[in-house]
Amino acid sequence: MIYLQTLSLKPAAKKQKTFPFNLPLVKNFTEIEFRAPITFFVGENGSGKSTLLEAIAAGTNSAVIGGDDLERDATLAHARALGKQLRYVWQHKNHRGFFLRAEDFFNFTRRLQTMTEELKEIAEGFENEYSGYALQKAQGVVLGQRRALIERYGENLDANSHGESFLKLFQARFVPGGLYLLDEPEAPLSPQRQLALLSMLGEMVEEKAQFIISTHSPILMAFPGAAIFSFDSHPLREIAYDDVEHVSLTRAFLNNPQSFLRHL
């Protein structure tokens, strides 16, 4: 399912001179057509792929996992400005899904751990205020909230590896029919766990989800039928998997690592 169909820039945006409107990405922006359920943004750091993904998140008022609310996050001020200058054409406007930056994941696990500990402390504190049925009822509400968090995310995400916790988060928060904006989700994942994420993406596409993903991972980019947009040239252009520089470089290195290492 494709909810967000096209993305273009309002003419007034190209007249602005401040960041992010002075980026080559923005100055040469034409239109992106989302023709596949999974679209990858690829390119070198600084090419603007994360900036555009953040702008889409801000412009579509996406829910945020881990970070501050989009309207309050100071680091996303530029994304909010750009997001207001984008035109969005929808087949069906979607309020499901979320925006996730890999760097925000660790804030999320800490916040979740704090919440479960605080709920336990609140329940224990009721023993000094209530007794009998009143105590049972008060503790039941709070411990029920704590139990729901544990059932959804696990007893302790911090006790798992980062990759394992990351995948558990996706398992808990992916729902059918969502629009998901993921910024470098491969960051905490080993190659094996990236394959597990690929499997999840496939399952969610079957459940009518749409993904726009900024990535450096040749493993994720290999998703069958995905569209890949290169941010290393302007205007942006859709390219084949074998033409992605990360893919060709990784393949060349694995085929003959010594040809690279002898120059060190």
Q: What is the rounded average pLDDT for all residues in the chain?
A: 83
- pLDDT mean over 93-110: 75
pLDDT value of position 73:
77
Which two three-digit tokens encode residue 51? 């900036």
Residue 153's pLDDT is 58
For residue 155, name the pLDDT band (cuts at 50, 70, 90).
Answer: low
Model confidence at 35, in pLDDT bands (50, 70, 90)?
Answer: very high
- Distance from first CA to last CA of the chain, Å, rounded? 47
**Measured distance CA(186)–CA(198) in Å, rounded:** 10
Per-residue pLDDT, averaged over 65-78, amounts to 73
Q: Is the pLDDT of residue 158 over 90?
A: no
Q: How many degrees, rounded to 5, is the angle at CA 184 between CA 88 and CA 5?
A: 20
Band (pLDDT 50/70/90 cuts) for residue 159 is very low
The two structure tokens encoding residue 3: 């909810």
> What does the alpha-carbon distance between residue 218 and residue 248 come to, in Å, rounded to a whole number?
9
Q: Among 238, 196, 188, which Cα is nearest to 219's? A: 196
Q: Which of 4-18, 106-120, 135-149, 190-204 has the lowest mean pLDDT?
A: 106-120
Map tokens 């023993």 to a residue: 127
Of 6, 179, 180, 33, the residue nearest 90 (C-alpha):
6
Closest CA to 231 of 8, 25, 4: 25
C-alpha torsion sign, points 58, 62, 68, 71: positive
Supply the pLDDT for residue 244: 93
Alpha-carbon span 159 to 167, nearest angstrom: 14
Instruction: Decide: 138 and 126 in contact? Cβ < 8 Å.
Output: yes
User: Edge-to-edge strand order for the sheet containing 86-90?
Assistant: 31-33, 4-9, 86-90
123 band by pLDDT with thresholds 50, 70 and 90: low
Query: Who's near 167: CB < 8 A, 6+ residues apart?
Result: 189, 193, 196, 197, 200
Confidence of residue 172 (pLDDT cuts 50, 70, 90): confident
Whether the model clears a pTM of 0.85, i.e. scores above it, the answer is: no
pLDDT for residue 132: 72
Range of lowest pLDDT (10-14, 116-120, 144-148, 194-198): 116-120
Which tokens belong to 54?
């953040």
Using pLDDT thresholds of 50, 70 and 90, give the confidence band for residue 45.
confident
